[in-house]
Structure 1
Amino acid sequence: MTQSFDTPLPPPEERRRLRELGSLTQAQLAARLGVSREAVRAWETGRSTPSGRKRESYGKLLASLAAVKPPSEVTVPQSAEPAPVLTASLSKAAASNPEPATHTSAAPLTPTQAFDALYGYCAPALVRQAYLLTGRRELARESVEQAFRVAWQRWPEVAVDPDPASWVRATAYEYALSPWHRFRPRYRHPEPPPADASDRALLDVLLTLPPPYRRTLLLYDGVGLGLPETAAETEASTPAAASRLLHARSAIAARLPDLAEPEVLHRRLAKTASTERLRAAKPPAVRIESERRARFWTRAAIAITMAIIGATALTLHTAPTRYEPPVPPGETVPGVPPRAAPGTLSTAELTLRAKLRAESANGPEKLLPEPR
């Protein structure tokens, strides 16, 4: 019997979704198929297509991943492999499959349920990623909570996004890498470094990289995104993202030669992030805080608008209703002698002054007219 190797494969985007549905990184999938990680990345981006036995094995693996339970029924395994910690794969699977596959007529999720599901799957991984970006535990938690608060305020836009996890991740990264945090008193002093010496060395090297290089390295070697996706998320061209990645890898290899291989660096990034006990707030707390801030800024905007309206009304009420010509400048009146300057008293003035001083304090006596 002749074996056929023309196994049908789903589109590239569906291949990536099925891999993330099974909580597998590109490196883990490559190890199962016996190929390189670059080959898996090329298959998922559509740059190439497997053939022969690799195509058959890849198709069977994707079919088995498509038959697994939905993310709402899957519990995250506590395995020794830390790579899935950085990938946020469950978050994307939950966003793309919000309804269980076993219930064809299930009611759609409410906005609150969808947000809580996205937060539950994304937040733990995002906190660890933000920690690698900043080296600060508190700032990492604050960045993720701020990103989800913004997402809840703009939920109609986020809910229809093709990849809401990437939307939240980009917002969290932007907030975490903001240069204004250095002026905040709570972030002026460094936090205690990791306990492990190798983790401290890796984190020190990461923090010496420029923020764009650090972000590109984390997205490509940590999260496992492809180069086009990394360039799009960092708002750079693909050649610029590749240059940043190469420079970041070279800087790390110069300081830590053991991490020159991308696969080793990927595992070390995941291990360094997973050793820290970083926990985010509960989804209801984030939603309540988001709504509270939205109410505060709404009331502040209303108050400022009312103040502007009141000032405008007062100006209109007190403004003149007709034209009033300006007062002309003064003119010199002819014929008026100039004012004499102070000088020495004359004889008559001296006599009058002496007479006035000689009078009593109550003034002169009352003068009566004399009859003629």
Structure 2
Amino acid sequence: MQLPNHGANPQNVYQQLGLKMPTEVFDFSENVNAAGPPPFVEARWRTFYPLIQRYPDPDGEPFLTKVAYFHRIEKQAIVLGNGASELFSVLARRYVNKRVIVIHPTFSEYERTLKAAGANVVPIVVDDVINYTLPMTQLYQEMVYADAVYICTPNNPTGVLPKKEELLRLIAYGAEVDCELVLDEAFIDWVSEDHSLIGDVAHNPHVIVVRSMTKMYAIPGLRLGYLVASKIIVSELKAMLSHWNLNAFALVIGAGCLDEHDYCQQAIDYATNQRAWLQRFLHEHGCRVTNSVTNYVCFSLPSNQHPDTFFSFCLGQGIVLRHTKNFMGLNGEWFRIGIKDVTAMTYLHNCLQTWFKANKG
């Protein structure tokens, strides 16, 4: 079964499998905020129109200043990117002919961009997927010979948040053995900034943190992300970026998004409630479910139920889940479900009820 390597664009799944796409489809394969963009985006949309006639600010204003204020850091410690994906592509060029550890299962773009840049990728797979327990002993052993470690926190696709004390221990050890830590915090908005390690970058020049504006603020079409690192690393990465790599709409809307505290809290509350229900429901039907803290849940079916048959059944019902065939350590036996609006979640519940009732074992 050949499938796309990313979520979203559900028509591609049906096309690659040669299936007719139902009239109504609910796409649970992508995991942006179900509420959609903050209300101000639509309310002020016409006021953004004049921006199309002007070149964007070359330094990334007003977004750059807003990011610095939001995190209480210097602007010189920030690199803005056309989505976190651009930042990972540029960052990979830093590790040409170098040894980089990638902890799996995780976001596939790390390994793809690193290999494309000529890095020597060392995969380490966690044993405990449900709790995403970091293999600390193995990491200590491998970091001695590595130039960097990539860690997704919270993890994608499991949604589990690695323990902050363990990450801090790895940061301290990385300083001893000259190994950088690249931390992807694309989903940290779904917990609390208290869990972010951006505040530790200033005292740890070997730490690089990447953030995405896509997930919480539901603006994947604008492509906006940022990276926080030492001034030396920032200077090196900026030299690799093209001029005007961000559009004016993204810079203005992104700046406004960082003021949307109530919007974020409402999204967190909704995702928390829906996630708790979904985890409980899946447990009741014999599934293994990760201890996600984000707006998505990862689960595997009972042993008597076949993943490919289940996936095809869901597609036939207009339900598109995120497969895990390209996630090392999950091997297609798990699925990721993004939290959606009430209508979609109700439809999902009915679909899953039908499946489990017919496949009790």
The normalised TM-score by structure 2 is 0.24
**Rg (Cα) greater in structure:** 1
The structure whose residues are more often helix, as a share, is 1
The structure whose residues are more often strand, as a share, is 2
Higher RCO structure (Cα 8 Å, ≥6 apart): 2
